[in-house]
Amino acid sequence: MSKEQGEQVIDRSFRIVALFFIFSGAAWLLLGTFFASLAAAKTVMPTFLSDYEWLAYGRVRPASINALLYGWGGNMIFGASLWMLARLSWAEIPYPGIPVVAGMAWNGAISIGILGILAGHATPFELLEMPEYVSVFLYGAFLALATWSIIIFHSRIQTETYATQWYAIGAVIWFSLTFFLGHLGLFWEPVRGTVQAVIASWFAQNLLWLWLVPIAFGIAYYLVPKILGIAVRGYSLAFLGFVTLLLAAPWSGLGDLRGGPVPEWVPTMGSIMAVAMFFPVTIFAGNVLGTAGSNLQRVWEDLSLRFVVTGTLLFTICAYLGMIIAIPAVSEVTQFSLFGNFQFNYILHGLFAMSAFGLTYYLLPVLFEGKQSNKLMVASHFWIAVSGVSLILAGSIWGGLTGGAIANLGNGDWGAATSPFLALNLAGESLLFLSAIYFATNLHWAIGFPWQACCPKTETEGEKTIVEDKTNASGDDLSEEDLATKEYMGLTAVTFILSTILVIAFAGVVFSIIL
């Protein structure tokens, strides 16, 4: 079987998973950006819809953030990482129904969580506002999906691994540990006093930098060389980027506690590590932008690449600005200001969403026999997404510096100084809502409603042939030796369960040592 045929087999096994996660993600993106626009409108007109308790700013804002992070981010992460792992590991998705069921549980848990926030059950910890009662369901669903990632990776034929695989597997481990330890320290065995603030910062940084960012990195590392047909520039440094990201990121948000009721070394370490993010960001940017730079015209003409590379560029610029602003002398100006939204927005809307859009537009024709949306619609979506996120980012930097200077260095009223930037933020959030509408429209344009595109007949055919295909696989990049030594192992239900238990047991052993 040729490489193309093998890829088709893998892709066929992935169809139903892709449909589910991409459409769920799009739905959450719509809801999340809608809530974000509503929250932004309420900062401009505080009396807007103020009669409804469940639409209070303090409820809509966390609802939007959680819908975006867990709903949009989570679904796209599962979809993207399962597919990239399957392709790179040369393994089809076993029992694709199970990740879909786990995804349903995940989405159900988030729905209850968002309703819980609107009903006033939120926790005070940022990016963890969903009430504690949904955590177990979220975590269970995540572990099931995590098991699938690991099974796919484990069943790979090649011995060489690629950066995308490290990041996809890393993200699985990091989310599992972060979510578990965060709940342990904040809810199950809560630490006292302001140690909670340190854990909350650690948790939020990990979720952004070690869950969303790695998958976005993985998408860029996968798509850019693949579409351009060239090797990644300076790839030998990629592993260093992986390690330094993991070393620096968990600490990098602590600068927000400067001057606060925590030991002074905590925010100091935060600033140091925020500046140390220079290494992973530079290596990633160098790899991806360096590779893309070799054929800029092609990058611009290919709409998927245009999304991914522009997202990388936005991320790189913002991450460098973030490092400058993390220097204590500057962060004392921006502390507690509008700048507090900057990191979330550039990671989620600047890097992650752009990469996920790019991957989706690349995937649709690949998975569904050339079906794709109108090129003009996709290009319009690109411009709307870029302008929306740019407005928000410009507003939070500019507004953070001007408002923060008055609030932290002066005596006066910073409200008047920040109000134009709140309006700018509203404009940006509205554009992002429009961008979400465009994304959903493009999906619909390409494949109609998800249930229309689902093709159970082909699905079963694919599954039947797959085991035979696999043993005969002689893809271009597989040597005869690989095939001889690595026989494909049929995956049984026992292996799934064993892997899950192994992961949990491994984590348990390490905890008991460390704690």
Partner 1 sequence: MTRTLSGLLVLSTVLLLFSWRYLIVATERQYGDLELTSGSLDENGSVIKDASLYPKAISGMALQGQQVYLSLGCVNCHTQQVRLEGVGRDMERGWGLRPSMPRDYVRLAQPLLGRFRHGPDLSNAGTRKELTEEALLRHLYSPQTDTPNSICQPNPYLFERKEIKGDVSEEALDLGDGTEISPTRDARKLVGYLQSLRQDYELPEMPFLVEPEIEIIAAPAPISASAPTSENKETSNE
Pick between residue 159 and residue 297 the one whose CB is nearest to partner 1: 159
Phi, psi of 330, rounded to the nearest 5 degrees = -85, -40
Residue 268 interacts with partner 1 (CB under 8 A)?
Answer: no
Binding mask 338-367 for partner 1 (x = CB under 8 A): --x---------------------------
172: nearest Cα among 250, 74, 302:
74
**CB of 39 within 8 A of CB of 64?**
yes
Among 114, 257, 397, 466, interactor with partner 1 by CB under 8 A: 257
> Two tokens at 245?
């990201």
Give how far the C-alpha of residue 379 lies from the chain's centroid of Cα atoms, to the nearest Å: 22
Pick between residue 263 and residue 448 the one whose CB is nearest to partner 1: 263
Interface residues for partner 1 in 431-470 (CB under 8 A)?
Answer: none
Pick between residue 192 and residue 457 the one whose CB is nearest to partner 1: 192
Among 75, 107, 337, 373, interactor with partner 1 by CB under 8 A: 337
Interface residues for partner 1 in 169-188 (CB under 8 A)?
Answer: 169-170, 173-174, 177-178, 181, 185
Pick between residue 28 and residue 175 the one whose CB is nearest to partner 1: 175
Give how far the C-alpha of residue 340 lies from the chain's centroid of Cα atoms, to the nearest Å: 19
Among 231, 484, 494, 515, interactor with partner 1 by CB under 8 A: 515
**Distant-in-sequence, close-in-space partners of 495: CB < 8 Å, separation ≥ 6:** 151, 489
Transcribe 209-251 into DSSP letters.
IIIIHHHHHHHHHHHHHHHHTSPPTTGGGHHHHHHHHHHHGGG
- Min dist. Cβ of residue 510 to partner 1 (A): 6
Query: What is the amino acid identity at position 315?
Result: F
Decide: residue 27, CB within 10 A, 0-12 exposed, 13-18 middle, 19+ buried.
middle
Pick between residue 103 and residue 214 the one whose CB is nearest to partner 1: 214
Pick between residue 166 and residue 362 the one whose CB is nearest to partner 1: 166
116: nearest Cα among 39, 62, 183, 72:
62
Transcribe 432-475 into DSSP letters.
HHHHHHHHHHHHHHHH-SHHHH--HHHHHHHHHHHHHHHHH---
Pick between residue 8 and residue 419 the one whose CB is nearest to partner 1: 419
Residue 510 interacts with partner 1 (CB under 8 A)?
Answer: yes
Among 206, 316, 435, 442, interactor with partner 1 by CB under 8 A: 206
Pick between residue 247 and residue 317 the one whose CB is nearest to partner 1: 247
Among 376, 411, 451, 484, interactor with partner 1 by CB under 8 A: 411
Among 11, 126, 302, 469, interactor with partner 1 by CB under 8 A: 126
> Two tokens at 465?
């042939």
Query: What is the amino acid identity at position 274?
Result: A
How many Cα atoms sit within 13 Å of 409 on the Cβ side?
13
Among 3, 27, 132, 154, interactor with partner 1 by CB under 8 A: 154
> Of 154-162, 304-312, 371-379, 442-450, which segment contacts partner 1 by CB under 8 A?
154-162
**CA gyration radius, the chain:** 23
- Min dist. Cβ of residue 259 to partner 1 (A): 3
> Of 247-255, 371-379, 432-440, 484-492, which segment contacts partner 1 by CB under 8 A?
247-255
Pick between residue 89 and residue 372 the one whose CB is nearest to partner 1: 89
Pick between residue 376 and residue 515 the one whose CB is nearest to partner 1: 515
Residue 12 interacts with partner 1 (CB under 8 A)?
Answer: no
> Of 14-22, 330-338, 372-380, 453-461, which segment contacts partner 1 by CB under 8 A?
330-338
CA 256 → CA 274, 324, 368, 406, distances in Å? 11, 14, 46, 18
Binding mask 36-75 for partner 1 (x = CB under 8 A): ------xxx-xx--xxxx--xxxx-xx-------------
Q: What is the C-alpha to C-alpha distance for residues 116 and 96, in angstroms, rounded to an integer? A: 30
Q: What is the C-alpha to C-alpha distance for residues 310 and 288, in angstroms, rounded to an integer? A: 11
Interface residues for partner 1 in 95-124 (CB under 8 A)?
Answer: 120-124
